[in-house]
Amino acid sequence: MTYILGIESSCDETAAAVVLDGRTIVSNIIATQIDLHARYGGVFPELASRAHVEAISAVVDQAITDAGIGCDKLDAIAVTRGPGLVGSLLVGVNYAKGLALATGKPLLGINHLEGHVYSLWLSEPHREIVFPVLVLIVSGGHTELLLMKNHGEYERLGGTLDDAAGEAFDKVGRVLGLPFPGGPNIERAAQMGNATAYNFPRSKRDESYDFSFSGLKTAVMREVTVPQVGPDGKKRGPEKNPKIRSDISVNDVAASFQDALVGVLVEKTVRAAKEHNVTEILLAGGVSANSALRHRLRAESALPVRYPPLNLCTDNGAMIGAAAYYRYEAGLRSDLDMDVKPMWPLTSDAYSE
């Protein structure tokens, strides 16, 4: 029985959890900063690090207390090393180092994207996942399509060339005057809207497995904002603080935008799954909470589609503890002078140096 403490602080969630054998959540504590960032319409890095500093000790203590096993029973301390906001990552990594030093337990620095992948191993603890599988990670910072051939073995098929899927949701949400984060609020508005009301571009409809969402975002902005006219009398692009036209339906725009974005994600994911002969499709990351994405992928794929329960879609410590279990078994141990990796792609040799 291997108990791993997983600590996550890469963005705006301070989280810690204890996970047994990479599959069972023993405790799971998440302190979100959503209210703190809401008034800025996005994550404000300085505030995020400060809030992590304030929360981390209580969050980790609570995760250990809830687990009811005591610190001595832990086999390892895992922490998100990257990718993410540098100041936020440093808080978790430094805290984990202190704890590892104080307890003598091994330290493991874990890739945040790999954490999202392993949230799927927590959702149905007794079901075996047979490789190869196709993984679509869609979060606020990433959109990655990966062929996972074994534990720790990834081939990157494609990803976003500009905005991440969650970032596009958040930016469009801001333009529509919806509260932060945009994703869940656009989903809610879309449920009351007509997805065919606007014909937004489904960008990057090519043979590649790459995505591009900034054109879609700009198209939405142009459609919904009052055109700005320059001194030369010509129309200009959307400004920083755009004014929304009074004659648009927010629900219809939300539904049409969501439909365009989900359509591209689903089309490429289904095609990649066919081409690579995988056993199933795994959906992970904050945007995997989106029910339109879940349903459409299930409807359009002949293969099983799995996604985490809602509380494991967005950032949490349990996914870090789960990913760490397989790394721990494979012999990974990080040094106490480990640095953070704000840009850290998930590849098969991600942990090799």
Instruction: Look up tokens 């337990």; give the residue.
Output: 105
Q: Give the pair of three-digit tokens for residue 290.
A: 């989106």
CB of residue 89 to Zn ion, shortest distance in Å: 12
Q: Is 287 in the site for ligand KG4 (CB under 6 A)?
A: yes
Specify whether the CB–CB gap between 2 and 75 falls below 8 A.
yes
From the list 328, 164, 194, 349, the residue with the least C-alpha distance to 257 is: 194
Strand partners, 136: 145, 283
Residue with the two structure tokens 């494609």: 158
Q: Which does 242 bind (CB under 5 to 8 A by kind): ligand KG4, Zn ion, none?
A: none
Tell the smallest beta-carbon distance from residue 329 to ligand KG4 (Å): 25
Q: Which two tokens stand for residue 71?
A: 């610190």
Q: Which of residues 16-45 bind ligand KG4 (CB under 6 A)?
A: none
Span from 95-103, 136-144, 154-162, 236-244 in contact with ligand KG4 (CB under 6 A):
136-144
Q: Which does 41 bind (CB under 5 to 8 A by kind): Zn ion, ligand KG4, none?
A: none
Closer of 33 and 203 to ligand KG4 (Cβ): 33
Contact status: 322 vs ligand KG4 (CB under 6 A): no
The site string for ligand KG4 over 84-123 (x = CB under 6 A, - otherwise) reads: ----------------------------------------
What distance in Å separates the CA atoms of residue 151 and residue 162, rounded to the nearest whole number?
Answer: 28
**Binding range to ligand KG4, per CB under 6 A, among 133-141, 200-208, 212-220, 335-343:** 133-141
Query: Going along the chain, which residue ranges are E strands?
Result: 3-8, 13-20, 24-32, 76-82, 107-111, 133-138, 143-150, 153-159, 228-229, 235-236, 281-284, 305-306
- 308 forms part of the interface with ligand KG4 (CB under 6 A): no
> Measured from the CB of residue 327, what is the shortest distance to Zn ion in angstroms?
18
| Residue 181 contact, options ligand KG4, Zn ion, none, Cβ 5-8 Å cut-off depending on partner type | ligand KG4
Report the residue number, 187 or 315, with the smaller CB distance to Zn ion: 315
Interface with ligand KG4 (CB under 6 A), residue total 19
Q: How far is the CB of 115 from ligand KG4 (least distance, A)?
A: 9
Q: Which two tokens stand for residue 50?
A: 């400060």
| Burial label, 246 (beta-carbon count in 10 A; 0-12, 13-18, 19+) | exposed
First to last CA, the chain: 28
The smaller minimum CB distance to ligand KG4, of residues 106 and 342, is found at 342
The secondary structure of the chain in percent helix, strand, coil, rounded to multiples of 5, reads: 40, 20, 40
In this structure, what token pair is assigned to residue 343?
């840009």
The token pair at 10 is 């890469």
Nearer to ligand KG4, 193 or 286 (CB): 286
Q: What's the min distance (Å) between Cβ of 186 and ligand KG4?
A: 6
Beta bridge partners of 155: 147
- Confirm or reject binding of residue 169 to ligand KG4 (CB under 6 A): yes
Shortest distance in whole angstroms from residue 214 CB to Zn ion: 20
Contact at 8 Å (CB) between 77 and 100?
yes
What is the rounded distance in angstroms from the CA atom of residue 197 to the CA atom of residue 251? Answer: 10
Q: Closest CB to Zn ion among 114 and 315?
A: 315
Interacting residues with Zn ion (CB under 5 A): 139, 315
Applying CB under 6 A, which residues contact ligand KG4?
A: 11, 139-141, 166, 169-170, 181-184, 187, 285-287, 289-290, 314-315
